[in-house]
Structure 1
Amino acid sequence: MADVVSLMERPVYTYPQVDRLLELSEGTSHRWLNGYRRRSVWYEPILRSEPSDTRWVTWGEFVEARLFAGYRDVDRIDTKQLRVYVQELRRRFNVRYPLAYAAPYVRAEGRRLMWEAQQVAGLPDRFAVEVGSNQIMLAPWVESFVQSVDFDESEGVARKLPPDPDFPDVYVDPLLRGGEPTIAGHNVRVRTVASFVRCGEDPAEVAEWYGLNLDEVRQAVGYDQVHAAIG
């Protein structure tokens, strides 16, 4: 009997697919996950404890990359500081993908641990902000990420999420359509909807075929125009 792979450890995307889904510059996800060398200086991975020769990115790694992708100034933060921050979170929460779980965001004690970890890493107020005595709030960009993620109620893991906040009805689900972008609540690929419109079909008719509304069709077309199709 084959071993059961947890959702977080499920290999879903290649590095180029992650870059395209999250609108990252080419090679960014590989650098975040495996580190890189620049001008004879080695920069350690951020989202892995050590480099890996696998061509695959797990769902847990993708979720964490999605969070960092939401912070467009992430490349301006010292890579070593970010790595220390994630290492601290792993140690404090005792899970491999702490940023892919709900606990750091929705529980007061979780936000406190995030705040403490960023102090250790020298990243004050980047992820969590102390707004009063024993009161920690998430930074706006982190709060926006949390509000967009569908967390599993029983295990608290990220179940599905929108890869691009500009298209809130476009979701990726590792268990649906091989992780390709779909319209939230519908088992239809964004690529399929967009291709019909590009071929000249009336958006209103396409919406009717798949039980969508016009805005969902427009988002499918818009996302497909911005992001190269994965495959």
Structure 2
Amino acid sequence: MNAPMPYTEMATAGAFTTDQVARLLGVETKEVRSWLQGQAPLILSDYEPVEHRRLLSFEGLIEARVIAYLLESGLGRPRLRGLMQHLRAKTEQRHPLARRDAISTTGDRVFEKDGERFVNLLNDCYADAVLLRPALRGHVAYDGARALYLEPDPKVFPLVRIDPRRAFGRPVVVEGAVAVPTATLAEAATHEGQSGAADWYGVSAEAVRQAVDFEKHSAAA
């Protein structure tokens, strides 16, 4: 579980630097870096560092999304570190928070759904309290318990996805069988105009507009 994945897995598992994770989650890069540091990191790196840069897979990105939410909800780092050690040992999974299981928090407690009840992950005790559902950014599509792709903002950018099987996990616009990185479309629109970029890559003008706006939004985050 702790051994890094080979680089050949990047084509299907995705690869994200801490800068890219921070940009997608709307947090500081130094914050993401701190999650991967120490003897008991909040998140395990997935690959050997490249030019001293740590890399996460798509599942690592999905887990980072939950970590950001839990920290923002008020769960302290010491308790969260203990929680992550507990979950990795319990599930024998590298990124247990990337699972489909419902995660809820009251700030000082963290719960997951077990049948029709919720169990406190910090002590395995069941609880009947009214719990907060995670207000996580975006939408994750699952196949069973495994995350397939992330829609960063389906209301504003319904065509934009982050899919580890496409462009190494870089944000792409998906229309039918066509998938084009948002950065590629935005760059093409700069030189050819949005209609020219749409014609060149075989997508709609709306797809190009979403790509351009997504790149602007991400750069400003």
**TM-score range relative to shorter protein:** 0.5 to 0.7
Gaps of 5+ in 2: 1-5, 104-111
2:21 counterpart (18, 21, 28): 18
Mapped to 2, the partners of 1:94 and 1:218 lie a distance apart of: 43
In the TM superposition, what are the counterparts of 1:78-157 in structure 2 within 5 Å? Answer: 78-102=76-100, 104-105=101-102, 108-109=113-114, 112=117, 115-118=119-122, 120=123, 130-131=129-130, 139-142=133-136, 148-153=139-144, 156-157=145-146
| More strand per residue | 2
Mapped to 2, the partners of 1:112 and 1:164 lie a distance apart of: 30
Aligned to 1:182: 172
Mapped to 2, the partners of 1:210 and 1:130 lie a distance apart of: 51
Q: Following TM superposition, by how much is the alpha carbon of 1:161 offset from its aligned partner in structure 2, in angstroms?
A: 0.7
TM-score (norm 2): 0.68
| Gap change, CA 1:161 and 1:53, over 3 Å in 2 | same
- Amino acid in structure 1 at the alignment position of 2:183: R
Gaps of 5+ in 1: 36-42, 122-127, 132-136
Deviation track 1:69-106 (CA, whole Å, cap 9, x = no partner) reads 456825x542112122223333443422111122x129
User: Aligned residues: percent identity?
Assistant: 28
Deviation track 1:114-143 (CA, whole Å, cap 9, x = no partner) reads x4115x49xxxxxx9843xxxxx661414x
Asked if 2 retains the 8 angstrom alpha-carbon contact of 1:47 and 1:83, the reply is no
**SS of equivalent residue, structure 2 residue 148:** strand
Mapped to 1, the partners of 2:75 and 2:184 lie a distance apart of: 38
Matched, 1:30 2:30: no
Asked if 2 retains the 8 angstrom alpha-carbon contact of 1:173 and 1:180, the reply is yes
Asked if 2 retains the 8 angstrom alpha-carbon contact of 1:33 and 1:45, the reply is yes
| Gap change, CA 1:164 and 1:22, over 3 Å in 2 | farther
Asked if 2 retains the 8 angstrom alpha-carbon contact of 1:11 and 1:56, the reply is no
1:223 counterpart (182, 191, 214): 214
Asked if 1 retains the 8 angstrom alpha-carbon contact of 2:17 and 2:55, the reply is yes
